[in-house]
Structure 1
Amino acid sequence: MMALLDQYGKPIPPASIRRLREEVAAPTLTGVRPVVSGHPAEGLTPARLAQIHRAAAQGDPLRYLELAEDIEERDLHYAGVIGTRKRSVAQLPITVEAASDAAEHVQHADFLRAWLKTGVLEGGLFDILDAVGKGFSVMEIMWRTDPGNIVPQRLAFRPQRWFSTDDDGDTIVLLEGATKQPLAPHKFVVHRHPNKSGLVMRSGLARVASWAWMYKSFTMKDWAIFVQNYGQPIRVGKYGPNASDADRDVLMRAVANIAGDCAAMIPESMLIEFIEAKNAVDGSALYEKRVDWLDRQISKLVLGQTTTTDAVSGGHAVAQEHRLVQEDIERADARMISTTATQQLGQLIIALNFGPQEAYPSIRIGRPDEVPLANVVDAVQKLGPLGLKVEASEIRDRLGLSEPAKGEDADVIGGRPPPPVQAPPGAEAKPPPPPELQAFQRRIASLHASQPETDVIQALTDRLALDAQGALAGVLDQVQAELHAASDLADFGRRLAGLRLDPEALAVVLGRGMAIAHLAGQAMVLDELQGG
């Protein structure tokens, strides 16, 4: 007897299936799943960062997951490019492919399509793709358990810091008190999005981006100090020999409160020499170039290119090449999340509603790589009458259409035939010709559609030209005489209008040629009928 299996291929106990509505990983005010998290990015040093990464690889990922969230909140560029990568996949079309053309498999696919229209999966894609930065994401499934319609009604995002890895360093488990509990297979969608091979905690983009962010934060701090010291003038206040202590205090408060901290107070008889830093302008450019360089490295890490985030020289061709790189990454992301949605959502929905199956429909996310739909429809329309056979279900899957209603022809692609032409009021309806005459008419039509013999056509053409030569000669002589006598083009037009040409001879020739062609055609039809 077949049983429901989880994402690891293990049977699901019947007792756990009955707890579909229970919320397993809800946040707690006090405990291991608090809403408020720590901020290890404050005062981060290279030594502390290395310690955080080492602890995550050894089974304690809390600080690393908090740091990944901190970086996304603090770094404008990283937040922009990681959001671009997630949104480029979250807005892709979602389709369902049936396991086969069998009636039950088509029914399963239609059931999934009906659930997709609720927008539950579409609304949760952005949160599922949080695995791009952290290596994995966890969504808790809130089920609706109506009879015959057991489907997810909401996918709740659960922060990764509430989870850890098992002793194998790769299996995601739930933190519960001082212990780690395995995830209920019917309650969670665990999406892994490795950007490198290895353990899940070492496969996220945040692990690499954290180093660039730390160095960038150092540069930003140095840049701020530089701007504060060299970006505004130094104020010097001078007082005379008769100035009292109260006067000097007023002067000091004045120069100190104008702007910044660079202020001084000296007697009027004293002299202070200010030596200007000649490379101050170059120094400010150095900080900017370092920050821009680190941002470009983050763009390469997340998007695989830099043109879509920074305006660089190279023209339209370079932009097109960089866009193709981003589309390759988008396609790979979509395939990974399609596998997760099929195995951990689609198969479970079908199994809960129709029982365990040997084959399940597939959920596809992304732009189709096949021929564009317009070309497919045009090819079927043109090649169908020539003998091409295409399964109707395949065309419906490509177009995203559902199966026809019960009682209709399942292979019908087009709609109803056009209504017959109605006879005008008062006209008598003509009875159809007898079957023998209909067959004869079809035979005549097919013979007329065939290509006549080339020698017959050539002989008729030559005969017509020979007969018309004499008739045309007289007409052409009159026209040529008027052309030589005319003084200009307008005069020639008036002379042509005044000619009285005799078309009788030419009309006789054309009529004789048409009669000969008609008789020749009838003779060929009779020959074909006798030969057939």
Structure 2
Amino acid sequence: MKRPQLLDRFGRPIQRNVLTKEVSAATIGGVRSPVSGYPADGLDPVRLASILRAADQGDPVQFLELAEIIEERDMHYLGVIGTRKRSVSQIPITVKAASDKPEDVKKAEMVQEWLERGELIEELFDILDAVGKGYSFTEILWDSSMGQWRPDKLEYRDPRWFRFNRHDFKTPMQLDDYGQEKPLDAFKFIFAQVKAKSGLPIRSGLARAATWGYLFKKYTERDWAIFTQTYGQPLRVGKWGEGASEADKNTLFDAVANIAGDCAAIIPDSMTIDFVEAKSANASSDLYLNRVEHLDQQISKAVLGQTGTTDAVVGGLGSGKEHRQVQEDIERADAGTLAAILNRDLIRPWMDLEFGPQEAYPTLVIARPEQEDLKTESEIVGNLFKIGLPLKTEQLYAKFGYEKPKATDEILGQISPNGDAPANAGDGGKQTSKIKRFLEPIKYPKPEQGTQTAQQALQASQGDFSAVDDLGVLADQLQNTARPQITAMMGQIEAMMVEANSLEEFRAMMLAGFGEIDTSGFEAMMAQALTSSFAGGHLAVEEESRDA
């Protein structure tokens, strides 16, 4: 049987012999060199603009290297971009089956089992390199050694080894061993694009905006370092007399310059220099700090959408809770984007390789479980119980995460047999006073004196069931016997519901009142019911015999 032709999302056919090989590994001295350049050295606005312009025109190498260096040299950018990536890479991943059919459920379970791999968090972190650079490439190494297809590794690949189609600058391409651009091998790569803004992939990453903040911040830090080094140092001025030679002047300058610091000068003896001192040196030093903090805050806004979780801003607008909600919004968006990428470039190809093209596929869901407000929920349950709405105890136990206690378990707050509250009761016994009167086992009323029960009527017949004229008499007598006991029980339960202020208190009353219920009355009723049934059977047989 010929296997169906599989195509990737770009309509390109797969080559099965390529899937288990590395096609974009690093090569020393080749076009995929792991050695990186350092375009940040000597960076200025003109050079930065030329680097960004070259990236827009299809040569992104220096921009990608600069983005890498910014993460290494700017601790603030490293912190916030790392926070954004780690917050998503550690979110629980679940798998939703395509349907309830057993075969679809089995596929979902297979994917879920693969997701339990310990390497997954690190692999997802690398895929999310797209948050900064705008895109990332991850090579899928497939394993078919056991006769089935399965992703073995997800290897991060340097984005410098890839390009975009010159026609649209959107379609990803890979570099072959000779540096020529060619389409991505089908089913071999996870191409992730996390957009900070709409537009071309090379211009959609956060590093694009961070480069300018990085440049201005480094200028300020350099000036701040010079100011800090020379602040408080005395100015040395050397003077030479008439007729001094160049050699004398050089000697004089070396003398004043080597005393300490850079604040040194030499002038002719006939010249004067006036030093005008700044009114507030402290204000000058604060200027550097304020500028650096301002630039850091702009980076925080760009990466996390807010500053409350990274920068302590005195008098800043908005609470920490609101700032955290903004960050959670971005987290959910990143998680949704990552899940869509994995479903498109990993899960669907996997299912196609293993089972062939499918009508529907299992779906990865990356989302944090919703946090329920159990305090509010408990108040709602209490109010519903007070108005008499019946509730399932099993559902409540599951809602609050508690296990239903067994008969042999020690119950927290349980009333002791003598009516005293236990030592662990939080109310100190105050809530048990009105429960005590329900502690005595319920005594059911006996039949009124002189009333002949059904059993007594049958005994009076001395075994001659025909002597009993009507079974309806027996039934009425049985009902009259049971009614007082049932009425007493219902009255007791209604009284408990009126007195109880909470579900827990009502439960304690029920346990107290019915924990050791006196069943002698019900036993007598059942005996009478069985006797009546026995008698009715014999009467029916005798009537049939007489009619025959």
TM-score range, shorter chain: 0.5 to 0.7
Q: Deviations over 1:85-137 (max 9, x none)?
A: 11111121122111121100110011111111223432201100000011110
Distance 1:452 1:178 in 2: 89
Matches of 1:11 and 1:2, distance apart in 2 = 14
The gaps in structure 2 that reach 5 residues or longer are 242-246, 409-477, 496-520, 533-548
Say which SS state the counterpart of residue 154 (structure 1) adopts.
strand
Q: Spell out the pairing of 1:49-198 with structure 2 (5 A cutoff).
A: 49-166=48-165, 167-176=167-176, 177-198=178-199
CA distance in 1, matches of 2:390, 2:122: 40
Distance 1:37 1:266, change over 3 A: closer
Does 1:7 find its partner at 2:9? yes
Name the SS of the counterpart of 1:146 in structure 2: coil
Aligned equivalents of 1:252, 1:213: Cα separation in 2:
37
Once the two structures are TM-superposed, the CA of residue 250 in structure 1 deviates from its matched residue by: 9.4
How far is the alpha carbon of 1:308 from its aligned partner?
1.1
Tell me the CA shift for residue 337 of structure 1: 0.4
Q: Which structure is richer in relative contact order (CA contacts within 8 A, separation 6 or more)? A: 1
Name the CA distance, whole Å, in 2 between partners of 1:117 and 1:138.
Answer: 22
Aligned amino acid, residue 345 of structure 2: Q
CA contact (8 A) 1:28 1:34 kept: yes
Cα distance, 1:331 vs structure 2: 0.8
State the one-letter code of the partner of 2:228: V
Structure 1 SS opposite 2:313: coil
The answer as to whether partners of 1:59 and 1:169 remain within 8 angstroms in 2 is yes
- In structure 1, distance between residues paired with 2:316 and 2:347: 44
Q: What residue is the counterpart of 1:503 in the other structure?
A: none
Match runs of 1:485-524 below 5 Å: none
What is the aligned-residue RMSD (CA, Å)?
Answer: 4.6
CA displacement at 1:191 relative to structure 2? 0.7
Give the 3-state SS of the residue equivalent to 2:19 in structure 1: coil
Map 1:387-398 to 2 at 5 A: none
What does 1:424-463 correspond to in 2, within 5 Å? 448=486
Q: How many pairs were matched up? A: 411
Distance 2:327 2:63 in 1: 27
Alignment of 1:278-357 (within 5 A): 278-314=279-315, 318-357=319-358
- Shift of the 370–224 alpha-carbon distance from structure 1 to 2, 3 Å rule, reads closer
Letter in 1 for 2:277: E
Aligned to 1:262: 263
Amino acid at match of 1:288: L
Instruction: Summarize the Cα distance change of 1:98–1:248 in structure 2 as closer, same or farther, 3 Å threshold.
Output: same
Alignment check: 8 A CA contact 1:137 1:190 kept: yes
For residues 203 and 238 of structure 1, what CA distance do their matches in structure 2 show? 59
1:334 Cα deviation after fit: 0.7
Output the CA distance in 2 between the equivalents of 1:336 and 1:99.
Answer: 20
Judged with a 3 Å threshold, the aligned counterparts in structure 2 of structure 1 residues 86 and 136 are, in CA distance, closer, same or farther, namely: same
- Whether the aligned pair in 2 keeps the contact of 1:75 and 1:213 (CA below 8 Å) is yes
String of CA shifts for 1:14-44, please: whole Å, max 9, x gaps: xx11222211001122232111122222222
CA distance 1:97–1:266, shift in 2 (3 Å): same
| Alpha carbons of structure 1 residues 368 and 375: separation in structure 2 relative to 1, 3 Å | farther
Q: Secondary structure at the match of 2:144?
A: strand
User: Identity across aligned pairs (percent)?
Assistant: 50
**Superposed CA offset, 1:48-83 (max 9, x none):** 322322222222222222221122222221111111
> 1:255-297 deviations in whole A, cap 9, x for unaligned?
5434312245799999865432324332222222122111111
1:173–1:183 contact (8 Å) kept in structure 2: yes
Structure 1's unaligned 5+ residue stretches are 241-245, 390-394, 400-413, 420-439, 458-517
For normalisation by structure 1, the TM-score amounts to 0.66
Does the residue aligned with 2:141 lie in a helix, a strand or coil? strand
In the other structure, the counterpart of 2:206 is 205
Give the residue type in structure 2 aligned to 1:217. K
Residue-by-residue CA offset, 1:281-325 (whole Å, 9 max, x unaligned):
322222221221111111100010111111123589611111110
Q: 1:56 to 1:251 in 2, by over 3 A?
A: closer
Partner of 1:404: none
Q: What SS is found at the alignment partner of 1:19?
A: helix
Asked whether the equivalents of residues 94 and 366 of structure 1 are also in contact (C-alpha less than 8 Å), the reply is: yes
> Could you tell me which amino acid in structure 2 is paired with residue 318 of structure 1?
S
**Partners in 2 of 1:269 and 1:203 — Cα distance?**
62
Q: Distance in 2 between matches of 1:11 and 1:387?
A: 57
Mean alpha-carbon deviation: is it higher for 287-296 or for 37-46? 37-46
Q: Deviations over 1:211-265 (max 9, x none)?
A: 222222222223333334445333468999xxxxx99999976654343122457
User: Could you tell me how far apart the structure 1 residues matched to 2:57 and 2:487 are?
Assistant: 82
